[in-house]
A and B are shown apart, each in its own frame.
Chain A
Amino acid sequence: MAEATANGLGQHQLHVAHAHDAATGVAHAEVHQEHPIKLYLVVWAWLFILSTCSYLVDYFGLHGYLRWSLILIFMMLKAGLIVAVFMHMAWERLALMYAIILPPILVLVFVTMMVFEADYTLLTRMVFFGAGP
Chain B
Amino acid sequence: MTEATVTHIGQAAPRPAGLQGIAADWSSDQRAFKNVSWGKAMMWIFLLSDTFIFGCFLLSYMTARISTRVPWPNPSEVFALHIGGSDIPLILIAIMTFVLISSSGTMAMAVNFGYRRDRRKTAILMLLTAALGATFVGMQAFEWTKLITEGVRPWGNPWGAAQFGSSFFMITGFHGTHVTIGVIFLIIVARKVWRGDFDIGRRGFFTSRTGRYENVEIMGLYWHFVDLVWVFIFAFFYLW
Q: Which residues of A contact B (CB under 8 A)?
A: 1-3, 6-7, 10-11, 13-14, 17, 28-35, 37, 40-41, 43-44, 47-48, 51, 54-55, 57-59, 61, 67-68, 71-72, 74-75, 78-79, 82-83, 85-88, 92-96, 98-100, 103-104, 107, 110-111, 114-115, 117-119, 121-122, 125-126, 129, 131-133
Q: What would be 8 A-B contacts, judged by CB atoms less than 8 Å apart?
A: A2-B4, A31-B37, A44-B105, A51-B101, A54-B239, A86-B108, A87-B228, A100-B45
Within 8 A of A (CB), among B32-80: 32-37, 40-41, 44-45, 47-48, 51-52, 55, 59, 62-64, 66-70, 76
Q: How large is the interface on B (under 10, 10 to 19, 20 to 34, 35 or more residues)?
A: 35 or more
Using A10-B37, A37-B112, A75-B231 as known contacts, list a sample of 14 further A-B pairs with CB atoms less than 8 Å apart, ordered by residue number in A: A7-B9, A14-B9, A31-B214, A54-B239, A59-B89, A71-B239, A82-B104, A83-B228, A87-B225, A94-B22, A96-B44, A103-B48, A118-B64, A122-B68
A2–B1 CA distance with the chains assembled, in angstroms? 6
- A98 in contact with B67 given A58-B89, A72-B235, A82-B228 (CB within 8 Å): no
- A29–B35 touching, CB < 8 Å: yes
> Known contacts being A100-B44, A114-B59, A125-B69, is A94 close to B228, with CB within 8 Å?
no
The distance from the CB of B225 to the nearest CB of chain A, in whole angstroms, is 8
A119 to B35, CA, bound (A): 47
Minimal beta-carbon separation of B23 from chain A (angstroms):
9
Nearest-neighbour CB distance to chain B for A62, whole angstroms, equals 10
Bound: A118/B66 CA distance, A: 6
A29-B35, A31-B35, A33-B115 known; A122 vs B69 contact (CB < 8 Å): yes
Q: Which residues of the other chain, A, contact B115 by a CB distance below 8 angstroms?
A: 32-34
Which of B21, B32, B34, B239 counts the most A-chain CB atoms under 10 A from its CB?
Answer: B239
Residues of B within 8 A of A111 (CB): 59, 62
Chain A: interface secondary structure?
A: helix
B35 and A79 within 8 A (CB): no
Residue pair A122, B66 in contact (C-beta under 8 Å): yes
- Tell me if B221 is interfacial: C-beta within 8 Å of chain A: yes
